Amino acid sequence: MSPDPRAVPADVPRERGREHAGDLAGLFVSFEGGDGVGKSTQVSLLGHHLAALGREVVVTREPGGTPLGLELRQAILHGEDLDPRTEALLYAADRAHHVATLVRPALERGAVVLTDRYLDSSVAYQGTGRGLGADEVERLSLWAARGLLPHVTVLLDLDPAVGLARLTGDPDRLESAGADFHRRTREAFLARAAQDPGRWLVLDAAQPAEVVAAQVRERLAPFLAGAA
Ligand SMILES: Nc1ncnc2c1ncn2[C@@H]1O[C@H](COP(=O)(O)OP(=O)(O)OP(=O)(O)O)[C@@H](O)[C@H]1O
Ligand SMILES: [Mg+2]
């Protein structure tokens, strides 16, 4: 008998006080990092790979993975000036709705959920970048998500200047936040990843996209063993 493709490897750590997605049937993967590092590119490449393996794949993003989320995304990224707490609460509202109505139901039915940003972006951007405090923003985010953490979080690490130079079009409010802000968020992501290597995969996002994609697939292989 082939192994259950949805089985979670035994070495996936359960973090105290947090609900790990491993308790659900599906596979939950988030992509994190600064602007222009290649998150959307990698989500798309992995999504096509998994669909070809016959998995149900749900590709989504934060903010904006739901109809309400799209309205919140517009307000957060392109609306009037927000104080940092308002910004953090709007991200948390987007996340609560996203997890409750889209992510958790998909994981419960056994789908693979790939999200372009998740709560680690809030911890890095609002907690450290905006100076609200990483611990407080993490608590707020975990409360919003009812503790749900991904099986694997891919950090695409890149010099912020290189990432921003890859982007075309008018910068949004976060993209325009300045070099020091982007340097601090990069450091925050790296520090957070170092604290929990069981969940995080840190990759050099300066490599060609196909090389990065192969490294992501290799990390996920144990979770997909036995898939058609
Ligand atoms: N590994 C790579 N090397 C060089 N260019 C890349 C790489 N990955 C993606 N790109 C290109 O860089 C640009 C930004 O990529 P992408 O949109 O995937 O990044 P992102 O992290 O989703 O950006 P954003 O923060 O704006 O959502 C795109 O033009 C994409 O084709
Ligand atoms: Mg993107």
SS3 per-residue string spanning the chain: CCCCCCCCCCCCCCCCCCEEHHHCCCEEEEEEECCCCCHHHHHHHHHHHHHHCCCCEEEEECCCCCHHHHHHHHHHHHCCCCCHHHHHHHHHHHHHHHHHHHHHHHHHCCCEEEEECCHHHHHHHHHHHCCCCHHHHHHHHHHHCCCEECCEEEEEECCHHHHHHHCCCCCCCCCCCCHHHHHHHHHHHHHHHHHCCCCEEEEECCCCHHHHHHHHHHHHHHHHCCCC
**What residue has token string 């590119």?**
41
Query: Do 94 and 71 contact (CB within 8 A), yes or no?
Result: no
Q: What is the pLDDT of residue 225?
A: 78
Pairing of strands 200-204, 152-157: parallel
Ligand 1 atom nearest to 37, measured from its CA: 21
If you take atom 10 of ligand 1, which residue's CA is the nearest one? 38
Q: Which residues line ligand 1 (CB under 6 A)?
A: 35-41, 166-167, 205, 207-209, 212
Mean pLDDT by 10 residues, the chain (228 residues): 44 48 87 97 98 96 98 95 96 98 97 98 96 97 96 97 93 86 96 97 98 98 73
Q: What is the pLDDT of residue 9?
A: 45
Write down the pTM of the prediction.
0.91
Distances (CA, A) of 63 to 73, 121, 128, 162, 222: 5, 10, 18, 23, 29
Q: Which residues surround ligand 2, an ion (CB under 5 A)?
A: 39-40
Ligand in closest contact with the CA of 121? 1
Ligand 1 atom nearest to 205, measured from its CA: 1
If you take atom 1 of ligand 1, which residue's CA is the nearest one? 209
d(CA 120, ligand 1 centre) in Å: 19
Structural domains for the chain: 24-224 (3.40.50.300)
Whole-angstrom distance, CA of residue 124 vs CA of residue 36: 16
Q: What is the pLDDT of residue 11?
A: 44
Q: What is the pLDDT of residue 174?
A: 83
d(CA 205, ligand 1 centre) in Å: 9
Contacts of 124 (CB under 8 A, 6+ apart): 32, 134, 185, 188, 189, 192
Query: Do 15 and 148 contact (CB within 8 A), yes or no?
Result: no
